[in-house]
């Protein structure tokens, strides 16, 4: 049907051509045709052909065929067929495809065609060149069928009708298609199907070509087309069987194949067919390689066509000899040469040159291909390969969009997929230092920040700050968003690093620099929290209030109300705080701060002695607790209240409930501690000791069980207060047995410390541990504290920083940490790191306030200030010690002595003397006479400085030697030396007789604190009237 239809079309064409020939043809032709016979027309056609007047020849042939078309005479028919074939050949030569197709169709359809195969082949070419693909496919199919099943009617027909012409017709039958012709036909068929988008149909003919052609280019092209068809079907799983074949052909150097490879690879990539896309991408050759290869081919083709190897170049004599060539034409100009050359260029050469030109005009594609490959490797988790390609693209063009994408992907992969933080940092820092504009440096900083956060390496976040500060700021909303986020994260890192002063400033920076940013609400909250951590309650409160006013829908509203309450509490505005916590309790019953608000209000009620109300709140807090900390706090606060009320059964009840509710999450050791404590109060000492001992052994191996450490303290107290010698011995034995079988170093160390505390050998143990422990990883707080105490005693501050860091990092809530602060503070003072020492002191005081065993902090502060020459501040610091009730005793003695030092440094020698004298008068019993002894010596020195008081100096030393609290101390040797042996011998002899002294040195000086020291303050014996205080008496 197809052929008939087509034939019809071309019949019309032919008729119209004939008509045209008649109407518009040369007058001679028109005139002649009436006169010429068919034979003459044929002769005219042949003559025109010989004369290379092809148009005339064609016209004569048309006329001849028209003349004899109706003839059935075999001879005439045979000649007409021969002319048709010739005519078709001429038309093809003249590129008149439509006409050629019509003539060929007639030729094929008419009997006595000698070359039907050739005709069909030519017809297929006509159809293909005119893009009549359906007709082309039919023609080729017919041709191939005919080749297998040739029709031999012509021969028999001629033999029957006209035996005279038998010989001519009986000429050699047309040979079958050669393999090359078959390849061409199959290729034409495949291409037709391809152009018709009959993807599945085209694969078989392409496959035929691939299997049979020896031309690698053609084979490669066919494979590529098969791959394209399979992509279109789509049938990705069949693609891989073709790719290796393509690899092995030189078609890889074909420009069209490379362009097709790009498209095919991209299509496969987009379809997620990575395994298929990868080898295709790999095969795509760089443009330079491709151009060089094809230009070499052009040279070869030019040589084959008899042209100079290079266009426009004149051939050398050697080249002429080698490659041949036309003789140079005298006077021929360049344009004419070019025209001649263009004329001589084969079609294939022209096409190839055009392709090379097109390739050269393409934008660079190599980096894009490499980027795609990197993406592809990344997608299939071949990270190292991806890294290589990203790096390659980035290195080639770091400033381009592609380069920026690559550095982003590269860093992302190094962080997320390869965990190569070091390399990621190096690459990011390099880029950020060089490129300070746009998104990419910000994205890198953001990624690194995220990584540091996720991996809890917060200090590294701060290393990004210098780079972020250098970024060029713009008004671009995304850039601003990134900047605000980056600075916000900087502030968060300050916060996490507990550098609250820095975080306060950093969050303020975000609020000031990026008003209205997406992090404004969060920044405000954490800005307020930073102030809260700094105990700047008054400053934090309005900021929390601002949050709830400006961001009532944001996530921290309930928190802000609650933290506002904490601020009020911190300002000791308890009624307001109570009101605020009540507000939170009533308005946010589902909030995470609800249990905490309950506990806080419970604490307020507790402080107001409203114990029942407190218990209700704690009970509610426990019931609503969303995490173990909230439950733990509420439970043990209840225990505290019940302890105050001596309701030990209730303690046991709430602690048991706590254990039952929170099971393995519960702080069991602490629970046992409280139960044990209750048992002690109920006089169940044995049970309490057993419970503690069992719990220490059971949980002592866990470093984080601070309840065990509390039990150690408690057990020491029980032993000292409630146990008899036998019970104490039994306890020690049991502990020793437990230590012998301890299965962890942590437990063993805890047991050793407990034993040392019971046996009062802590100092020795501390020294031993200091020398023997290679690592402190398994040391719990009491062990660390023992080591701290021993170090302090030995004035060995070498590990002070490490010890404090361990506490801060691992046991920040431990009450044993104060020993580490003390060691560290004195260590810094020793190193003259006064700023550091003051910071340590501030931290310790922030944590422990004026607890009795933290007086050292205030005393050291005074010492540091004095060392820094801050006289007034040092005086104030010492004075403040005297006002704290819990610091009565040794701290006051030391403070008084230190006040003497302050005044001495200020040049107020009389005042200094007065403080020293007061120290040895009033506090000689403290610290085993240490401060008194120091004061005697200091007094003597002050007197020496005053001058002219040699007798007073000697009397001071004499008094020191008569003073039983100090005369055996090492400091007394100074006095002995000064006085000389004879007098010292007299004094000792006098003391042996029971004699007392009445040496009183009087120096008038006003004292700012305490009573005036004068000679009146003496007893009958000449000693101060007030009995000196002793540690024991206090």
Partner 1 sequence: MKRIILGLIAMSAAVVFAQDEVTQSGTPAVLEAVNGKKIKVFLQSMEGENLTFQPFKSTKNITVPASKINSLEFFPKYDVEGVNTAFVQGDFPNVIEVLEPVMSELVDYMPIENNMREPFVMLYNCYRFNGDYEKAEDYATRFLTCGDEELEMKGKAGLALVAIQKEDFETAEKYQQELAEQSEAAGLYLKAAIERAKEEPKQAMQTVTVIIKDHSNDQEWLPASELLAAYCYLDMTGTNSVITTNSAMNTARQVKNMYAGSAVAADAEKLWVSLGGPEIEALAEAERAERAAALKAEKERIAAEEKAEKEAAAAEKAAEKAAAEAAKAAKAAAASGVSTTETESE
Span near partner 1 by CB under 8 A; candidates 24-32, 386-394, 671-679, 709-717: 386-394
Given 362, 380, 478, 644, the residue binding partner 1 (CB under 8 A):
380
Q: Residue 417 Cβ, how far from partner 1 at the closest point, in Å? A: 6
In this chain, which stretch among 17-25, 204-212, 412-420, 784-792 interacts with partner 1, using CB under 8 A?
412-420
DSSP 22-70: HHHS-HHHHHHHHH--HHHHHHHHHHHHHTT-HHHHHHHHHHHHHHHTT
- Comparing CB distances to partner 1, the nearer of 240 and 610 is 240
Does the protein bind partner 1 through residue 279 (CB under 8 A)? yes
Cβ proximity to partner 1, 271 vs 478, nearer residue: 271
Minimum distance, C-beta of residue 406 to partner 1, in the bound complex (Å): 14
241 near partner 1, judged by CB under 8 A: yes
Q: Which 572-611 positions form the footprint of partner 1 (CB under 8 A)?
A: none
Size of the site for partner 1 (CB under 8 A): 27
CB of 356 to partner 1, least distance (A): 21
Choice between 412 and 485, CB closer to partner 1: 412
Least distance (Å) from partner 1 to the CB of residue 674?
A: 42
DSSP sequence for 805-825? HHHHHH-TT-TTHHHHHHHHH
352 by DSSP, 3-state: which? helix
- According to CB under 8 A, which one of 157, 166, 247, 293 is a site residue for partner 1? 247
Taking the C-alpha atoms of residue 5 and residue 646, their distance in angstroms, rounded to an integer, is 114
Residue 271 or 623 having the CB closest to partner 1 = 271
Under the binding rule (CB under 8 A), the answer on residue 388 touching partner 1 is yes
Asked if residues 939 and 913 have their Cβ atoms less than 8 Å apart, the reply is: yes
Task: Give yes or no for a contact between 987 and 962, defined as CB atoms under 8 angstroms apart.
Answer: yes
Is the CB of residue 41 less than 8 Å from the CB of residue 63? yes
Report if residue 43 touches partner 1, rule: CB under 8 A. no
Q: How far is the CB of 775 from partner 1 (least distance, A)?
A: 25
**Residue 423 or 969 having the CB closest to partner 1:** 423
Verify binding: residue 387, partner 1, rule CB under 8 A.
yes
> Helix %, strand %, coil % for the chain, to 5?
75, 0, 25
- Selected from 92, 202, 223, 243, the binder of partner 1 by CB under 8 A is 243
- The Cα-based distances of 306 to 292, 294, 315, 330, 846 in angstroms read 21, 18, 11, 19, 99
* Smallest gap from residue 400 Cβ to partner 1 (A): 19
Token digits for 385? 């390969």
Where does this chain touch partner 1 (CB under 8 A) — which range of 243-251, 359-367, 471-479, 826-834?
243-251
Q: How far is the CB of 227 from partner 1 (least distance, A)?
A: 14
C-beta of residue 722 within 8 angstroms of C-beta of residue 685: yes
Nearer to partner 1, 252 or 580 (CB): 252
- Single out the segment in contact with partner 1 by CB under 8 A; choices: 12-20, 242-250, 463-471, 709-717: 242-250
Does residue 269 belong to the site contacting partner 1 (CB under 8 A)? Answer: no
283 scored as a contact of partner 1 (CB under 8 A): yes
168, 212, 382, 436: which one binds partner 1 (CB under 8 A): 382
Among 54, 157, 383, 429, binds partner 1 (CB under 8 A): 383
The residue among 207 and 245 lying less far from partner 1, judged by its C-beta, is 245
Give pairs for 308-312: CB < 8 Å, separation 24+.
311/341, 312/338
Please pick, from the candidates 10, 177, 389, 633, the single residue that binds partner 1 as defined by CB under 8 A.
Answer: 389
* CB 276, min distance to partner 1, A: 8
In DSSP notation, 565-623 reads HHHHHHTT-HHHHHHHHHHHHHH-TTSTTHHHHHHHHHHHHHHTT-HHHHHHHHHHHHH
Q: What is the DSSP string of 434-447?
A: H--SSHHHHHHHHH
Structure-block tokens of residue 987: 């004094």
Q: Which of 197, 248, 683, 805: binder of partner 1 (CB under 8 A)?
A: 248
**Separation of alpha carbons 776 and 964, rounded Å:** 44
826-850 core/surface letters (b: 16 or more CB in 10 A; e: else): bbbbeeeebebbbebbebbbebbeb
Query: Does the protein bind partner 1 through residue 245 (CB under 8 A)?
Result: no
Q: Is the CA virtual torsion 472, 473, 479, 481 positive or negative?
A: positive
Query: For tokens 């000389």, what's the residue?
Result: 980
How far apart CA 933 and CA 915 sit, in angstroms, is 13
Contact (Cβ atoms closer than 8 angstroms) between residue 544 and residue 563: yes
Q: Is 830 in the site for partner 1 (CB under 8 A)?
A: no
- Residue placing its CB nearer to partner 1 in the complex, 418 or 884: 418
365 is an interface residue for partner 1 by CB under 8 A: no
φ/ψ of 1030, rounded to 5, equals -125, 160
C-alpha span between 404 and 382 (Å, rounded): 21
Of the residues 3, 418, 573, 906, which one makes contact with partner 1 according to CB under 8 A: 418
Q: Indicate the residue among 418 and 1007 with the shorter CB distance to partner 1.
A: 418
Q: Is 757 in the site for partner 1 (CB under 8 A)?
A: no
Q: Is residue 456 within the footprint of partner 1 (CB under 8 A)?
A: no
Residue 103 in the binding site for partner 1 (CB under 8 A): no
Does 262 participate in binding partner 1 (rule CB under 8 A)? no
Pair 185, 143: CB distance under 8 Å: yes
Give the C-alpha distances (Å, rounded to integers) separating 344 from 310, 338, 843, 963: 14, 10, 95, 131
Phi-psi region at 195: left, alpha or beta (left = phi > 0; alpha = psi -120 to 50): alpha
Instruction: Supply the minimum distance, in Å, between the C-beta of residue 428 and partner 1.
Output: 18
Count of residues for the chain? 1034
* Interface map 211-240 toward partner 1 (x if CB under 8 A): -----------------------------x
Collapsing DSSP to helix, strand or coil, 1030 comes out as strand
* Residue 14 and residue 102 in contact, taking contact as beta carbons nearer than 8 Å: yes
Q: Which of 75, 238, 282, 436 binds partner 1 (CB under 8 A)?
A: 282
Nearest distance from residue 281's CB to partner 1, in Å? 9
| Residue 417 binds partner 1 (CB under 8 A) | yes
Least separation in angstroms between CB 403 and partner 1: 17
Which of 14, 84, 219, 252 touches partner 1 by CB under 8 A?
252
CA atoms of 581 and 588, how far apart (whole Å) = 10
Q: Is residue 722 within the footprint of partner 1 (CB under 8 A)? A: no
Nearest distance from C-beta of residue 239 to partner 1, angstroms: 10
Query: Of the listed pieces 206-214, 379-387, 635-643, 679-687, which binds partner 1 according to CB under 8 A?
Result: 379-387
- Find out whether 191 and 165 touch, Cβ atoms under 8 Å: no
Cβ-based nearer residue to partner 1, 187 or 283: 283
Query: Is residue 836 close enough to count as binding partner 1 by CB under 8 A?
Result: no
- The distance of closest approach from Cβ of residue 814 to partner 1 in the complex, given in angstroms and rounded to an integer, is 33
Window contacting partner 1 (CB under 8 A); options: 170-178, 244-252, 481-489, 793-801: 244-252
**Pairwise CA distance, residues 78 & 106, whole Å:** 13
Query: In the block, which residue shows the tokens 């910071």?
Result: 839
The site for partner 1 (CB under 8 A) is made up of 240-241, 243-244, 247-248, 252, 274-276, 278-279, 282-283, 380-385, 387-389, 392, 417-419
């Amino acid at each position: 049907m197809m052929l008939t239809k087509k034939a019809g079309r071309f019949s019309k064409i032919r008729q119209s051509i004939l008509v045209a020939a008649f109407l518009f043809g040369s007058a001679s032709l028109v005139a002649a045709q009436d006169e010429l016979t068919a034979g003459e027309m044929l002769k005219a056609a042949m003559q025109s052909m010989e004369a290379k007047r092809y148009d005339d020849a064609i016209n004569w042939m048309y006329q001849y065929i028209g003349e004899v078309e109706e003839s059935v005479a075999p001879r005439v028919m045979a000649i007409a067929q021969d002319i048709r074939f010739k005519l078709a050949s001429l038309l093809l030569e003249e590129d008149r495809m439509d006409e050629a197709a019509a003539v060929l169709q007639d030729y094929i359809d008419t009997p006595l065609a000698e070359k039907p195969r050739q005709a069909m082949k030519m017809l297929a070419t006509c159809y293909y060149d005119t893009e009549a693909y359906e007709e082309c496919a039919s023609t080729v199919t017919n041709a191939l069928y005919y080749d297998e099943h040739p029709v031999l009617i012509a021969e028999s027909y001629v033999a029957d009708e006209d035996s005279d012409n038998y010989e001519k017709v009986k000429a050699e039958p047309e040979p079958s298609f050669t393999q090359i012709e078959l390849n061409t036909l199959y290729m034409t068929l495949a291409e037709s199907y391809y152009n018709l988008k009959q993807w599945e149909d085209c694969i078989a003919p392409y496959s035929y070509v691939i299997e049979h052609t020896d031309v690698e280019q053609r084979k490669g092209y066919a494979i590529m087309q098969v791959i394209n068809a399979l992509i279109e079907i789509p049938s990705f799983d069949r693609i891989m069987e073709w790719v290796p074949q393509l690899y092995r052909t030189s078609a890889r150097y074909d420009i069209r194949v490379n362009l097709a490879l790009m498209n095919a690879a991209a299509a496969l990539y987009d379809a997620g067919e990575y395994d298929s896309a990868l080898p295709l991408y790999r095969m795509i050759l760089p443009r330079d390689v491709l151009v060089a290869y094809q230009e070499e081919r052009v040279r070869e083709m030019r040589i084959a066509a008899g042209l100079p190897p290079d266009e426009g170049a004149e051939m050398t004599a050697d080249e002429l000899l080698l490659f041949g060539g036309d003789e140079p034409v005298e006077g021929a100009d360049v344009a004419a040469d070019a025209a001649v050359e263009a004329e001589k260029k084969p079609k294939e050469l022209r096409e190839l040159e055009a392709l090379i030109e097109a390739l050269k005009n393409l934008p660079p594609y190599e980096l894009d291909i490499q980027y795609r490959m990197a993406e592809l490797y990344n997608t299939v988790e071949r990270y190292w390969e991806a890294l290589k390609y990203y790096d390659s693209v980035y290195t080639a063009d770091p400033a381009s969009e592609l380069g920026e994408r690559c550095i982003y992907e590269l860093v992302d992969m190094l962080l997320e997929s390869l965990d190569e933080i070091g390399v990621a940092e190096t690459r990011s820092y390099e880029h950020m230092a060089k490129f300070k504009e746009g998104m990419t440096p910000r994205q890198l900083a953001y990624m690194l920040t995220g990584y540091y956060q996720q991996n809890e390496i917060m200090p590294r976040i701060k290393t990004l700050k210098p780079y972020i500060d250098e970024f060029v700021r713009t008004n671009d909303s995304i850039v601003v968003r990134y900047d605000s986020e980056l600075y916000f994260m900087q502030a968060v890192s300050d916060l996490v690093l507990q550098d609250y002063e820095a975080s306060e400033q950093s969050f303020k920076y975000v609020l000031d620099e990026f008003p209205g940013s997406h992090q404004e609400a969060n920044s405000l909250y954490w800005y307020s929290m930073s102030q809260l951590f700094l105990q700047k309650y008054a400053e934090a409160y309005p900021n929390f209030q601002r949050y709830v006013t400006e961001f009532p829908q944001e996530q921290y509203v309930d928190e802000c109300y609650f933290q506002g309450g904490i601020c009020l509490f911190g300002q000791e505005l308890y009624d307001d705080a109570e009101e605020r916590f009540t507000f939170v309790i009533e308005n946010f019953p589902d909030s995470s701060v609800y249990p905490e608000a309950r506990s806080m209000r419970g604490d307020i009620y507790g402080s107001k002695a409203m114990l029942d109300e407190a218990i209700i709140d704690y009970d509610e807090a426990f019931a609503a607790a969303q995490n173990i900390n909230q439950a733990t706090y509420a439970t043990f606060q209840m225990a505290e209240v019940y302890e105050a009320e001596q309701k030990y059964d209730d303690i046991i009840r709430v602690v048991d409930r706590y254990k039952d509710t929170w099971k393995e999450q519960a702080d069991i050791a602490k629970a046992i501690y409280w139960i044990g404590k209750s048992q002690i109060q109920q006089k169940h000492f044995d049970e309490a000791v057993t419970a503690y001992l069992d719990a220490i052994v059971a949980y002592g191996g866990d470093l984080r069980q601070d309840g065990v450490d509390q039990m150690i303290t408690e057990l020491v107290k029980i032993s000292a207060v409630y146990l008899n010698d036998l019970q104490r011995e039994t306890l020690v034995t049991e502990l020793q047995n437990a230590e012998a079988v301890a299965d962890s170093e942590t437990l063993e160390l805890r047991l050793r410390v407990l034993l040392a505390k019971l046996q009062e050998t802590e100092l020795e143990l501390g020294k031993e541990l200091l020398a023997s422990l290679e690592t402190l990883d398994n040391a719990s707080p009491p062990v660390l504290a023992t080591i701290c105490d021993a170090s302090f005693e030995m004035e060995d501050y070498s590990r002070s920083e490490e010890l404090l860091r361990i506490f801060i990092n691992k046991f920040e809530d431990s009450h044993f940490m104060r020993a580490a602060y003390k060691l560290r503070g004195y260590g810094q003072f020793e190193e003259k790191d006064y700023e550091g020492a003051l910071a340590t002191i501030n931290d310790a005081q922030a944590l422990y306030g004026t607890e009795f065993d933290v007086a050292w902090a205030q005393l050291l502060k005074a010492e540091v200030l004095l060392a820094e020459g801050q006289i007034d501040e040092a005086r104030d610091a010492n004075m403040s010690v005297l006002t704290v009730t819990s610091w009565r005793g040794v701290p006051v003695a030391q403070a008084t002595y230190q006040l003497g030092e302050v005044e001495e440094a200020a040049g107020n020698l009389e005042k200094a003397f007065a403080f020293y004298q007061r120290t040895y008068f009033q506090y000689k019993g403290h610290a085993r006479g240490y401060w008194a002894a120091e004061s005697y010596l200091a007094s003597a020195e002050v007197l020496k400085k005053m001058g002219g008081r040699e007798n007073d100096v000697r009397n001071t030393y004499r008094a020191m030697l008569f003073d039983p609290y100090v005369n055996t101390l090492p400091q007394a040797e100074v006095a002995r030396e000064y006085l000389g042996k004879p007098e010292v011998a007299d004094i000792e002899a006098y003391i042996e007789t029971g004699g007392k002294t009445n040496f009183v040195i009087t120096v008038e000086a006003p004292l700012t604190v305490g009573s005036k020291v004068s000679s009146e303050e003496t007893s009958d014996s000449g000693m101060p009237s007030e009995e000196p205080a002793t540690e024991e008496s206090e």
